[in-house]
Structure 1
Amino acid sequence: MNVIISASELADALAGENPPTLLDVRWQLGAARAAGEPPFDGRAEYAAGHLPGALFVDLERELAAAPGEGGRHPLPDLAQFGAAMRRAGVSSGRPVVVYDGGQGWAAARAWWLLRWTGHPDVRVLDGGLPAWRGPLTTEVRAPAEGDFEPRPAASGLLDADAAAALARSGVLLDARAEERYRGEVEPIDPVGGHIPGAVCAPTTQNVGPDGRFLPAERLRARFEDLGVTEGSDVGVYCGSGVSGAHEVLALAVAGIPAALYVGSWSEWSSDPRRPVAVGPDPQ
């Protein structure tokens, strides 16, 4: 099943017999949350114009718990997450399409959470809102209450110990920028570097200049170059489990299943007992 949808395909789906539920997950990465300042609020962008019928979902409050020992964007309370999804009209028998402002990271976080908790049909608008050529609206309609009940999968989620083990036994991809992986720059977390054994794989290299994913065959070739072979156990982490979800989505486009370490570097680096590697090499 496809995990992304083009703008033209979405327009056709919205005109069909079972149109998808639309979730607007506009969000912006920044250090403001770590500095104790108010987080970016995508509601203003949503209010200024969104896809007709779309409901806004707040990444910071509905797709993550408060920052703490589990990292800057730990898993949300699943009961609260389920309630938020039902308020947005999400039902198990109706497809869902999520989009953001174009970067794709926030939409991928929503995609990953919904898929990991059991929704059978979730896709991300490839290229996000900038790819949409249809009308926008400022009207907000309250949807009918959905029936989605989160049922977490037994696989697909890594904790710190599992991520460390996977770096030794499989392929653990670090989705952050190369300079953060090498430990040369760390704008948010207390320590720079990477999990020993992890492979540098910036998720920004999975998309073209227009923000859309590279073709599946090119993504497969990229991940093969990074050491992912048929049957590999693959995991991904990033700074706080958001851009890493985008890399998991890219892997899914390529037909490669992967698990996400949600706590990611923000959790790993908060414990001084955990080892840290620096430089361009995994070890």
Structure 2
Amino acid sequence: MADDAAQSPQRVLLVTGMLGAGKSTALRELEDLGWESIDNFPIRLLDRLLTGETQDHPLAIGFDCRTRGFVPQDVMDQVRQLTDGDAVSLTTLFLDCAGNELERRFNETRRRHYLAQDLPVMSGISAERELLAPLRAWADVLIDTSEFSVNDLKQTIRDQFAQTAPRAMTVTVSSFGFARGKPPTADLVFDMRYLDNPHWVPGLRELTGLDAAVGEHIEKSAIFASSFAKMRALVLELLPHYAEQGKTYVNIAIGCTGGRHRSVYTAEKLARALREGGFSPTVLHRNLASRAAELVEGGQQS
């Protein structure tokens, strides 16, 4: 057994990409997943780092255009040499993001782009994108974080790079408002906007789907009982198959217009049904604390 362990290849993940695209967040999440993480590592020293005994933990190494000695073609050549044998199992992750979103992030944090110097932020972003183009095309895994929140990126990293050892599947049921954007990492999305909107019912606007009065209003709908039964049956049928395919996380998103009434009630009801079916879902309500607003809720028929 000791000989088998010694022959196991060192699992290495190189994490790179555009500045502001989420490298630090990805590395912190990988560390929480059991990876040993190193950021801003001089990539030219990679072969020295991996020389010697195989590490017990997988290794995540972050670098970007600020890293000393960073030349994309040299990085690719070095990785090819390291992976010629069986000692290293290496994957490259590239984090990308749209230019306008990167510009917004830099302006919001008031940080200067490394390649911009005294030029506008977008000049640095454009120069960096041109520099990294070969590395982006060559990377094994590409994640575009343009529409991601921090939590969305963390969830994606967990889905992609959690340890491969068997573990219980994590099921999340979340509510959200379409008017405030769809969750980008959902596996299943259900739209509850076919139901009457409690926002326009006197006495219910300031309440949420956690309040009994809102639930009673939704349950009165002639279509709700039959449609929910089909939703419940579909989810309970699919979850075991997701588990068979080795999926570690399943995210079920339920939306309505504002994310405060119909989606919240339905998410809670579905979570109870899943618990009865033997699962242990986590329930999240993304927009529950959002202010009730008519401009968000739209017309009375929305």
TM-score (norm 2): 0.22
Structure with greater helix share of residues: 2
Structure with greater strand share of residues: 2
Pick 1 or 2: higher relative contact order, CA cutoff 8 A, min separation 6: 1
